[in-house]
Amino acid sequence: MVENVVWYHIEDVLSDDFIGKKVCVRGWIYRRSVVGGKAFVRVRGSTGIIQVVVDREKCGEEIVRILKDIGLEASVMTCGELVKQPRAPGGYEVHADWFRIVGYSRDFPIKGGEGIDYLLDNRHLWIRSRKLTEIMKIKHSVLKAGREYFVENDWWEVTPPILTASAVEGGATLFPVKYFDKTAYLSQSAQLYLEALIYSLEKVWSLTTSFRAEKSRTRRHLAEYWHLEAEAAWYNMEDMMRVAEELVAYIVQYILEHNKRQLEILGRDLKILKNSVEPPYPRIRYDEAIEILQKKGVNIEWGDDLGADEERVLTMEFDKPFFITHFPKEIKSFYMKLDPENEKLALGFDLLAPEGYGEIIGGSEREDDYNKLLNRIIEQGYDPEDYKWYLDLRKYGSVPHSGFGLGIERLVMWIAGLDHIRDATPFPRFRGRIYP
Binding region for Mg ion (CB under 5 A) = 362
Residue 331 CA: distances (Å) to CA of 100, 105, 231, 306: 62, 53, 21, 9
- Residue 222's binding partner among ligand 4AD, Mg ion, none (Cβ under 5 to 8 angstroms by kind) is ligand 4AD
Which CB atom, from 250 or from 334, has the smaller least distance to ligand 4AD?
334
The Cα 233–Cα 226 span in angstroms is 24
Q: Among 29-37, 258-266, 277-285, 407-415, which window interacts with ligand 4AD (CB under 6 A)?
A: 407-415
The Cα 164–Cα 359 span in angstroms is 25
> One-letter amino acid identity for 212?
R
3-class DSSP state for residue 144? Answer: helix
Q: Among 66-74, 108-116, 254-262, 405-413, which window interacts with ligand 4AD (CB under 6 A)?
A: 405-413
Which CB atom, from 169 or from 319, has the smaller least distance to ligand 4AD?
169
Which CB atom, from 48 or from 362, has the smaller least distance to Mg ion?
362
Which CB atom, from 84 or from 219, has the smaller least distance to ligand 4AD?
219
List, edge to edge, every strand of the sheet that includes 176-179: 163-164, 182-186, 176-179
The Cα 246–Cα 351 span in angstroms is 12
* Site for ligand 4AD contains 425 (CB under 6 A): no
* Site for ligand 4AD contains 97 (CB under 6 A): no
Find the helix packing angle between 130-152 and 408-416, rounded to 10°: 120
The Cα 215–Cα 224 span in angstroms is 13
- Residue 339's binding partner among Mg ion, ligand 4AD, none (Cβ under 5 to 8 angstroms by kind) is none
Residue 406 CB, nearest approach to ligand 4AD (Å): 6
Pick out residues in 219-248 that bind ligand 4AD (CB under 6 A). Answer: 221-222, 225, 227, 229
The Cα 369–Cα 23 span in angstroms is 68
* Site for ligand 4AD contains 191 (CB under 6 A): yes
Compute, in degrees rounded to 10, the torsion defined by CA atoms 378, 384, 390, 396.
90
3-class DSSP state for residue 186? Answer: strand
Beta strand extents in 280-368 (DSSP E only): 283-285, 322-328, 338-339, 342-353, 358-365
Please, are residues 72 and 29 in contact by the beta-carbon 8 Å criterion? yes
Q: Among 96-104, 145-153, 320-328, 404-412, which window interacts with ligand 4AD (CB under 6 A)?
A: 404-412
Residue 100 CB, nearest approach to ligand 4AD (Å): 44
The Cα 70–Cα 28 span in angstroms is 11
Which CB atom, from 190 or from 300, has the smaller least distance to ligand 4AD?
190
Q: For 199, phi and psi rounded to 5 degrees?
A: -75, -15
Pick out residues in 125-184 that bind ligand 4AD (CB under 6 A). Answer: 168-169
Residue 298 CB, nearest approach to Mg ion (Å): 19
Q: Which of 360, 373, 416, 418 binds ligand 4AD (CB under 6 A)?
A: 360
- Residue 428's binding partner among Mg ion, ligand 4AD, none (Cβ under 5 to 8 angstroms by kind) is none
Which CB atom, from 51 or from 325, has the smaller least distance to ligand 4AD?
325
* Site for ligand 4AD contains 363 (CB under 6 A): yes
Binding site for ligand 4AD (CB under 6 A): 168-169, 189, 191, 212, 214, 221-222, 225, 227, 229, 359-363, 403-405, 407, 409-410
